[in-house]
Chain A
Amino acid sequence: MKPIVQVIAEQLRVPEARVHDELAFGAIPEWDSLNHVNLMVALETEYGVTVDEDHMVELTTVRAIRTFIAAR
Chain B
Amino acid sequence: MIQDGREPGSGDSSGDASGHGIDREDGRSLRSGFLRHAARAPQATALGVLDRVVSYGELEHHARLWAGAIVDRLGRPAERVGVLGHRSEVAYTGALAALFAGAAFVPLNPTFPVDRTRAMLEAAELDAIIADDASAVQLASLLRAAGRPPVVVLPQAADPHGWAAGVAAGRAIIGAGELAGMTPLAALPPVVVDDIAYLLFTSGSTGQPKGVPVSHGNVVAFLDVVAERYTVAPGDRFSQTFDQTFDLSVFDLFLPWSSGASVYAMRPIDLLAPARFVTKHALTIWFSVPSLPALMRRKGFLRPAIMPSLRWSLFCGEPLPQATAEDWQAAAPGSVVENLYGPTELTIACFAYRWSPERSPAACRDGLVPIGRPFPGLAAAVIDDAERPAADGEPGELWVSGPQTVPGYWRNPAATAARFVARDDLAAQTKRFYRTGDRVQRLPSGDYAYLGRVDHQVKVLGYRVELGDVEAALRAAPGVVEAIAVAWPLEDGGAASGLVGFLTGPAVDPAAVLASVRATLPDYMVPRELRIVTELPLNANGKVDRRALAGQLAQPPEA
**Chain A residues near B (Cβ < 8 Å):** 13, 25-26, 29, 32-34, 36-37, 40-41, 51, 53-54, 56-57, 60
Contacts and interface: CB of A to CB of B under 8 A. Distances in A.
A54 B268 contact: no
Contacts, number: 45
Contacts of A25: 268-269
Given A25-B269, A33-B271, A40-B299, A53 B523 contact: no
Q: Report, nearest first, the 10 A-B pairs whose CB atoms are least far apart.
A: A53-B273, A53-B276, A56-B273, A57-B273, A29-B523, A56-B272, A37-B295, A57-B269, A34-B497, A53-B301
Interface residues of B, number: 19
B324 to A, nearest CB: 15
A44 to B, nearest CB: 9
B194 interface: no
A57 B461 CA distance: 19
A17 B528 CA distance: 20
B518 A56 contact: no
A51 B273 CA distance: 11
B275 interface: yes
Contacts of A13: 528
Instruction: Tell me which of A41, A53, A54 has the highest count of chain B C-beta atoms within 10 A of its own C-beta.
Output: A53
B526 A29 contact: yes
A31 to B, nearest CB: 11
A12 to B, nearest CB: 11
B149 to A, nearest CB: 32
A56 B528 CA distance: 22
29 contacts: A13-B528, A25-B268, A25-B269, A26-B268, A29-B518, A29-B523, A29-B526, A33-B268, A33-B271, A33-B272, A33-B295, A34-B295, A36-B269, A36-B272, A37-B272, A37-B299, A40-B299, A41-B298, A53-B273, A54-B273, A54-B276, A56-B269, A56-B272, A56-B299, A56-B301, A57-B269, A57-B272, A57-B273, A57-B276
Given A29-B526, A57-B276, A37 B269 contact: no
Interface string B266-304: 001111110110000000000000000001001101000
